[in-house]
Structure formats: C-alpha cells, structure tokens
A and B are shown apart, each in its own frame.
Chain A
Amino acid sequence: MQKAHNYYPDCPEELVVGLARTGDRKAFEDLVRRRQAWLRNLMRRLCSDTALADDLAQQVFLKAWLKIRMLKQPRAFGAWLKRMAVNVWLHYLRKNDALRKADELEDFEKPQHEATSLGMDLDGALATLPPSVRLCVVLSYQEGMSHGEIAKITGFPLGTVKSHIRRGTLRLQELLAAYADQVARRNHDG
C-alpha cells in the first residue's frame, strides 16, 4: 500500500503547507523540494556566490520550518518564504557590515559578450551593484515586485527603493550594452 506522503508531490502546495504546519516533516520536505530551485536562484542573484547562496537558502528553510506554524494562510507560503529570504539576506549584510558600502559602485570590467555566457554576464554585472541596490533590482526584475512591495518587504523608504532601482537599471544597461545590441540585431534580422 502506498504511504500518504508518496502523494505529496501531486498535491496542491496549499494542502502540503497545511500538512507541514501540523509538523509533518515529509510535507515540509516536499515543500523544500518544490521551492529549492527558486530560492537558491534568488539567493544566488542576491549574493553572487553559489556556496554562500546555498548556505543562506538552508537558513531560510530552517527558519521556515521553525515558524511554519505561525503562517496563517497556506496560500501565502511563497510570499512568506520570500520575505524570510530577504530578511536572512539583510541580516547577513548587517552582520557583515555590507550595507555601509551601499552607495559605492564597484569597478567592473565590461564583460565580453557571448551568447552562451549571457547568464554569467548578468550575474557578473549584478555582483558590481551595492547589496541594497542589487536587492531592489532583483526583487523588481526577477520577482516582478512593485516598488511599494519592495519597500514593504525590505523596510527601505519608497524613495530609496525607486532610486536604487533607477541606479541599478542604469548600471546594468551600461554593463550589458553588448547584450542589448545583440537583441536588437536579432530582432532586426528576424
């Protein structure tokens, strides 16, 4: 006879979250399996260091496991996890005093653009942004969050969020100009 947890991968996430809230470790394991790629990718974009990103992602899941009973709406699990990820990242930055350098844009050698290394170029360009700017840009572009939502989740003033996104966008446009040319050429040829 099949055990109940064998069916978890086929269940809607809300249901699995509900089971995890009751202390079902198998249900939580299924949630980790579902969300790990997204969370690790988000953390990698934020910190540009694969090993550190995985460590932080583990911390986020651990916090989630400890606090999941407090989650009132199972359908809000994704947003709740994202908020926790942002908090873990901000805590890491504060602990390492990285926010102090928030206004400094690092020197960056413009990448040599090849079609195969576009992802790498984006990560490289993101790595040159100050952490708080990078956080706002990633939440805006990758997570599709509005400025207001970013201000709420990060605790930054709305004006700061807007300015960070504007500065970050300009910097990325400058660094990834070759990619833009490539897209324009592709569109022209097509």
Chain B
Amino acid sequence: MMAEQRDPILQGLFAEPVSEPVDEAFVGEVMNQTRNRMYWILVSISSIVVLIVLSAWLFSVPALKFVILITESLATPIFNVGDGWMAWILLPVNSVAGLLVISAKVVRMAWKRVFGLRTLF
C-alpha cells in the first residue's frame, strides 16, 4: 500500500544486525524474579487463608448470632394478619425485608424519572 511505504534507507539501517549473544546473567535474573514472585504469591495466599481461618474461629459464633438477628428482624411482619393462609400469601410483602425492597424500587424509579439514566444503585 502506498501510504505504508517505508523509507528504504531507514529500513536498511533498522535491519543492521545487532550482535547480541545469549546473556545468561539476564536469563538467570529473570528466572530469579519469577521464583521470588512465586514465593510471594504463595506467602500471600497462605496469609489470606490463615486470616480467614482465624477470623472464622474468632468470630463465627458472634457472626452467626448477628445473622440470625438480622434474618429474624427482616422477617418480622408489619401488620398482624394471624397465622392462616392469608399470612402465608402476604408474607413476601408483609415483612420488613419486603418493605425495604419495595422502598428501594420506588426510590430507584423516582431517581430515574428525575435524573434520567444516571444510576443510583
């Protein structure tokens, strides 16, 4: 292609052979770095695993209690409709969790209407 023609003299100059024997010191340095990086990755992964295990051991009981508390709070009915079949049908909306989801949807819709496509969440 005409537009991509190269200057033949410059082309010749770039093509001048560059004498470059295999530099074993360079190869050794690269391989040392790969080994060091491998150790570093292993140490990082081990540290993370240890941290997770320690956290699980230390915080598992309080975390479980917290999760149960949240679940129970979210499942709390807003209106008392008894224990009959009506309560089961209304369960998805008649709870704190349902109220939160509906509120989030309403806020999102309002946000879209007011500010267009800019995402809120």
Residues of chain A at the chain B interface (Cβ within 8 Å): 25, 28-29, 32-33, 36-37, 40-41, 54, 57-58, 61-62, 65-66, 118-119, 122, 138, 140-142, 146-147, 162, 169, 172-173, 176, 179-180, 183
Question: Smallest distance from the beta carbon of A167 to chain B beta carbons, Å?
Answer: 13
Quick one: CB contact mask for B1-37 with A, threshold 8 Å, 1 for yes? 0011011011111101010111100110111011101
Residues from chain B with a CB closer than 8 A to the CB of A162 are: 3
How many residues of B are counted as interface, with CB atoms below 8 angstroms from the partner's CB atoms? 25
Where chain B touches its partner, the secondary structure class is helix
Give the A-B pair count, Cβ closer than 8 A: 78
Given A32-B27, A142-B14, A147-B4, A179:B37 Cβ within 8 A = no
Question: Smallest distance from the beta carbon of A45 to chain B beta carbons, Å?
Answer: 8
Residue from A33, A41, A173 in contact with B10 in the complex, judged by beta carbons closer than 8 Å: A173
Contact B20 A183 (CB under 8 A): no
Q: Which 9 A-B pairs have the closest CB atoms?
A: A37-B20, A141-B14, A65-B34, A61-B30, A142-B14, A180-B9, A32-B30, A32-B27, A41-B18
Most interface-central of B4, B6, B21, B26 (chain A CB within 10 A): B26
CA distance in complex: A138, B6 (Å): 12
Could you list 10 examples of A-B contacts with CB < 8 Å?
A25-B34, A29-B27, A32-B26, A32-B31, A40-B26, A62-B30, A162-B3, A172-B10, A176-B9, A179-B13
Question: Smallest distance from the beta carbon of A178 to chain B beta carbons, Å?
Answer: 11
Residues from chain B with a CB closer than 8 A to the CB of A141 are: 6, 10-11, 14
CA distance in complex: A28, B31 (Å): 9
Contact B23 A36 (CB under 8 A): yes
Contact B22 A37 (CB under 8 A): yes
Residues from chain A with a CB closer than 8 A to the CB of B9 are: 173, 176, 179-180, 183
Question: Smallest distance from the beta carbon of B114 to chain A beta carbons, Å?
Answer: 37
Contact B10 A146 (CB under 8 A): no
